[in-house]
Structures are given as C-alpha cells and as structure tokens.
Chains A and B, each alone.
Chain A
Amino acid sequence: MSFLERLRAGLRRTTDQLVGRFDRLDADPATRVGVGPAAATASLDTLDTLEEILIEADIGVSASRRLLDRVRDHTGDADLRSVVKHELRRLLEAPIPAPVRGGCPRVVLVVGVNGTGKTTTVGRLARLLALSGQQPVICAADTFRAAAVEQLQVWARRAEADFVRARPGADPAAVVFDAISAGKARGRDVVLVDTAGRVHTRTNLMSELDKIRRVAGRAVDGAPHETLLVLDATVGQNGLAQAQAFLEAVGVTGVVLTKLDGTAKGGIAVAITAELGVPIRYVGVGEQLDDLVPFSAAEYVEALFEPAW
C-alpha cells in the first residue's frame, strides 16, 4: 500500500460526508462562482452552504471567509469544485523551513497538549526514520504522566530504536541532555524527544519546554533542529490558540495531524498554515506502526475529495 493509498483509505470516511455535500451543491445548476462570465450564476445560498461545509470541517470562521473571498474573486471560468480545491491547496502550501544546520545528532522535539498522540507519534517517527536508513534514539522526557515512559518503551521496541529514559518525576531537560549525549556517543543520527502533554495556557509548563530547548541547544549545535506540534484532528478552533502558544513559546516548525482516520477533518490545520505559516509535516491515519505518513498539500486535498472528485 503506497502512502497515498493509505492516506486515502484513512480519509475515506472523512471524505464521504464532505463530498456528499459538495456533490449536492454541484448538482445545483447555480454553483459556478468567480468574477468571470460564470460569476453571475453564483448564488448567495451556494456560498452560505459552502461556508457551512468549511466550518463543519473545523476550518474556522476567518479562514473560511478567506477561502470564500478568494473563491468569489476567482477570475477565469472554472467550476466551483476546482476553484475550491485550488484555493484550499494554496492555503495549505506553506514553505517547509530549511533544515537548521548544526551538529549531529539532529534533535526533534515533539510537543502538544494532553492526549493528542505525542507518544504514539514519536514511536512512528522512529519507524519512518529507521525505514529511511537513519538510526534514531527515542528520549522519554514525559516524566509526569503515569506510565508514559512504559508506553513509549513499547513503541521503541516495535520501532527497534534506542531508548533513553529517566525516573518518574526527574527533570525532563536532564533526560534530554542524557539522550543527546547517548546519541553522540553511539553515533546516532536523530534524537526524538517525547515531551509531557501540557495545556498551552499553563505558563510554567510552557517555560519548562523552553528550558528543554535551551538545554538541548547547549548539548548540540542548533538543537532542537525541529519542533513538531502534535494536533488531534478532532480539535476545533482552540487548535489555533494551541499552535500560537506553542509557536511563541518554543518556535514550532511543523504540525503533525493525528487521528485522521475518524470522521474529523482536521480543518483547523488549514487555518494554522494559513494564519501562522506553520506547515503540516505528517498525518496519522490509523492505529498501526506504519500509519504515519509525510504530508503533502496536493495529496491531502485530492484525498479529501476522492473518489467523487
């Protein structure tokens, strides 16, 4: 199964409803929009329905408005379907920041609020890296949640990655330092750091993350080279507040969107990319070890509108 197929399989259920509603729209003769010759036929009702569809996908009011404005101003004679697709893709295409130069091993920090799937994501990232021939070290820096370390250890075993842990309640920054030292000593390529979930409004917990960052930066040049924010696809408008807070606190470089195999569409990620310029890097589409795939805006939009479109 190729990545695209897996993504599509995961998104199919997501798609059904979205596409179903779009198809009904499409059957309406008055669905052509834009300022071109077809513009006159775009009814207000259509745009209202379109707004509802976008809001239901958690894209949010302001990002939906932006999309609708673009659809409305679209020049040229294209059907609604391809205009929406095109504009959605444009909103989703944020440049992936150039990899930070610096020492080895590279350090990837995985952050997010509680219960979004950070630990599972770290296990799967390790697997992805291993498949591409790199040797990851997994660092269990969630010393707060009960049994988080044990959970990650199971994933490390499945992904056949090195594992560095600490006693519960230990200082997470110290564990990160240890893991980086171990990675250096063993000549590993990447250190994946699983951090404790934290609600983004807790300033003291957010500064703990900043400390981890600083300590990592002292242990190896340019670290952390990447900071991934894990977002649950079911999250609503609060996802934007989360992204904003983590961006400010620790400089998020990418988003991992998990649990896309449900009926939630993760539309807030569109808003995050559009408003904060943070790209989506990976998506989680199932419960298996291999169910994390690199994100591509084109494929995501295509898959979202498969098979009817």
Chain B
Amino acid sequence: MFASLTERLQTVFAAVRRETRLTPESVETALREIRLALLEADVNFKVVKAFIDRVRDRAVHRAVLESLTPAQQVVAIVRDELLTLLGDGPAGLTASRQRPQVVLLLGLQGAGKTTTTVKLARWLTGQGRHPLVVSTDVRRPAAIEQLGMLADEGGIRVHDPARDAAVVTRAAGAVEMARSMGFDVVLVDTAGRLHIDDDLMGELEALKTAVQPSDLLYVADAMTGQDAIKSAGEFNRRLGISGVVLTKMDGDARGGAALSVVSVVGVPVSFVGDGERLDDLQPFYADRLVSRMLGMGDVLSLVEKAEQVVSREDATRLEQKICGNDFTLQDMRDQLETVKRMGPIDRLVELIPGMGQMASRMPGEVDPHALVQTMAIIDSMTRRERVRYQVLDGSRRRRIARGSGTTVQDVNRMVKQFVEMRRMLKTVGAASRSRKKKGGRRRGIPMRPGVPVT
C-alpha cells in the first residue's frame, strides 16, 4: 500500500537533508519521488507536471544548489509552491452584504452536500448568523427527509413546503421566508448530478437565476481521483463556483483532489468536512494543510479545537488549582473528558508537530481505550479518594479495579501516572507563582488546559 503524501515527502526530504551538497541529479531524484507522491495522492497528472516543472526551475538554480542549506531550500520551495497552488483566498463564505445571503451547494452524487448544508448552518450559527436551510433535491428518495432530520438534530430551521416539488419555487420560498422572518442566510441543498447531465445542469442555472446566490459552493469528496478537475471544471464553466468544500477529510485521503480542483478552477477551498458529527466542518487554511502535508504539524488547529471545548472560566479555575498545587484526580478526569470532546485522540496527535509520522509508525500506541480506561478507574472511586489520592490503600485499589473492570496493576499504573503528573504540575505552578510575585508578564507557553500534560 502506498504511503500518505506527508510520509512520502518526509522520506524524500529526510534523504535530501542528508546530502551536504545538492546536485541537479539528486534534486531530480527528489522530484521523481515528489511526483509519485503527488500522483498517488490523486493530484491530477497535468497539475503535477506543471508543479514539478516549477519546483525544478527554482530548485536547480545555482544559488540554491550552492547555498549552505540546499535541502531546506528545496523544502521551502516545495512548501511555497504548494501554497501558491492552494491559493491564499479567504476561507469561509464571501463577505456579501446581501440579506438574506443565499448559498447554493452543488456537486456530484454522494459528495456530501446534504450533510455539509447542515454542518455549514451550524458553523454559521456559531458565527452569530441565523441560517435557514432548504432542500431542492426532489429526485433522490428521502433526500428532503434527510435534510429535515439532520437539521432537527442540529437545531437548524428548515423550509419544507410539503406539497411543493418544484426546485425553483422551493428555493425561492425559502428566500421569501427568510426575508419575512429575519433569517440572514439561506443554504440551498441541491440534488447530486453528473456534470455532463445537460438537463440537470440547466436546472441549476435556472435556480441560480431565480435566487441570485452570493456563494456557489462545490462540494467535493476528498477521495476523488483524476476526474475531479473535469467535474469541478464543468460545474464552474456553467455556473461559476465561488468556493470548494472538501468532504470526508477524516479518511486517509490527503487532499490531492483539493490541489487539482483549486489549481484548475482557481477558487479557494472554503471549508473542509472531517468527521461524522455535525460540528465537523472547519474553514480551510492552506498554510495549515501544507504544514501538515510537510509534517510540520498544525498547532493552530489544535489550539482552536481546545478553545472550542474549554470555557474561559474553566481554564482560569484550572490554572488556579495548578498554581495552588491542589490538582486532584477529579480534575484529571475533567481534563480527559475535555480531550475526548476535542475529537478522536489519534487525530489530535496528527496535529502535533513531529507526531504525525510517529503516530502512523506506532499503530496502537495512541490508544483511545487507555483514555476510557483511566476515566473508568476514576469513576469507580469515592469522592474522598478523588480528592485525596493518598488514602488509596490496597483494599481500596482492589475494589476500584473490580468496579472499573480493570486489574489492580492498571489502577496502580494510573495512580502512579497521576502522581507524576502532579509533580510536574507543581514545578509549573511554582514557576508561574514566582513570576506572578515578581509582577512580570507571563511568558512562554500559556497553560492550555485542553492539552493533555501526560
């Protein structure tokens, strides 16, 4: 099986870094590997060709080859060109003044338009907007019900005139309803269609004329292959796409289709969908994806994820506890709960610089079960035990092991870890106390309570 783009590039660059001097030949070897990696990541072969040519032009330049750090220079060039390819267009929706702002979601069958519609509505709600969604998919069985059910689940209002089976009037009705009831965004879900289906593409053109959308989002499956540019190109030619939503990014497909679509259609990726929960939609940041591809980690995304689930008050309270050295097992349990809410732990690890490769090399090392087990052990403790771990004698530990379905060894290991952690936190707390005493500004990494310290 082929390695992911990240791994391939890292292998290539590890090889390049070992060379003290680059020759045009060694650059060529690296380029061949990059070409393969990009092709296997489903970047369109024409795009790959152009990309490789551009990198080569810059890399075999004398200044690069003779510089003291040629390998790093090549990495920088690749990073640079990837960024150029992905464009630096703004993520999210266009800043339209239109009220209600109308957004059309288009794409092939099974790309994920309906799910994305509701996810996008949820995201907009988080931005303080008031979205209304409407389905115009009168073709696929139960598509309208699907949107309705998802919207209910996400607490989003739907416009669904039961008797109306006409695409244009359904959408126009939603815009009308939004206007009269004060919704400021209307998200229009459309039926999946092939880009070569002339009748259905005509239907979209009529829909566009009727509701005058400010945003036409092309929803594309991240796992799409070489065909991606054909379909996206045709949708763009007939309707004019304003942005791309890349779905199913939680798999191991590493966004090659994104590179192709963006470079061919010339519009930015606006959002990425990366999970099955309704909140699994993020604005797309090219630099973060490129950093991830090149194995530089994505600390910004990690911090943002933490901020989503940790309230300011919680963070302050925790910081006080750490400073006062009274971090308890109960606090640890709360922290683990927070981590769990941030998403699957193996995906969080991918975001940590340098950890991406490690995680894939040690399958099973990052064990989500360990988290659940630790929580179960704490859950089996009495309140007193959680506050004062010192009372945990042999008999209590045996009881806890039975109660949590673990062994005494598991309990011992967990307690030991906790004591270790407390010791570490004590030094952190002492350091920040002394800084506070001096009245100086806190420097260094602020405590991010959402990030596990163990």
Q: B-contacting residues of A (Cβ < 8 Å)?
A: 13, 52, 55-58, 60-62, 113-117, 144-148, 150-151, 153-155, 199-202, 232-242, 244, 259, 261-265, 267-268
Contacts and interface: CB of A to CB of B under 8 A. Distances in A.
Interface string B88-127: 0000000000000000000011111000000000000000
Given A13-B196, A262-B108, A113 B223 contact: yes
A170 B257 CA distance: 35
Interface string B4-47: 00000000000000000000000000000000100111101100
Contacts of A58: 42, 225-227
Interface string B177-192: 0000000000000000
Given A236-B256, A262-B231, A201 B224 contact: no
Given A114-B112, A234-B108, A262-B108, A268 B142 contact: no
A153 to B, nearest CB: 8
A151 B110 contact: no
26 contacts: A58-B42, A58-B225, A58-B227, A61-B36, A114-B110, A114-B248, A144-B276, A145-B146, A146-B146, A147-B143, A147-B148, A150-B141, A151-B141, A151-B143, A234-B108, A234-B231, A235-B225, A237-B40, A237-B42, A239-B223, A241-B1, A262-B227, A262-B231, A263-B230, A264-B226, A264-B230
Given A147-B148, A237-B256, A262-B231, 5 more contacts: A13-B196, A114-B110, A237-B225, A241-B251, A241-B252
Q: Chain B interface residue count: which class?
A: 35 or more
Contacts of A145: 146
A165 to B, nearest CB: 12
Contacts of A264: 225-227, 230
B305 interface: no
Contacts of A56: 44-45, 226
Q: When A and B form their complex, which 4 residue pairs have the shortest distance between CB atoms, in order from nearest?
A: A236-B225, A115-B110, A236-B42, A154-B141
Interface of B: 1-2, 36, 39-42, 44-45, 108-112, 140-143, 145-150, 153, 194-196, 221, 223-228, 230-231, 248, 250-253, 256-257, 276
Nearest to B254: A238
B110 A199 contact: no
A300 to B, nearest CB: 17
Contacts of A233: 227
A52 B257 CA distance: 17
Contact of A57 (B2, B150, B226): B226
A147 B227 contact: no
A150 B196 contact: no
B224 A235 contact: yes
- Indicate the member of A154, A201, A261 with the most B CB atoms within 10 Å: A201
B121 to A, nearest CB: 14
A252 to B, nearest CB: 15
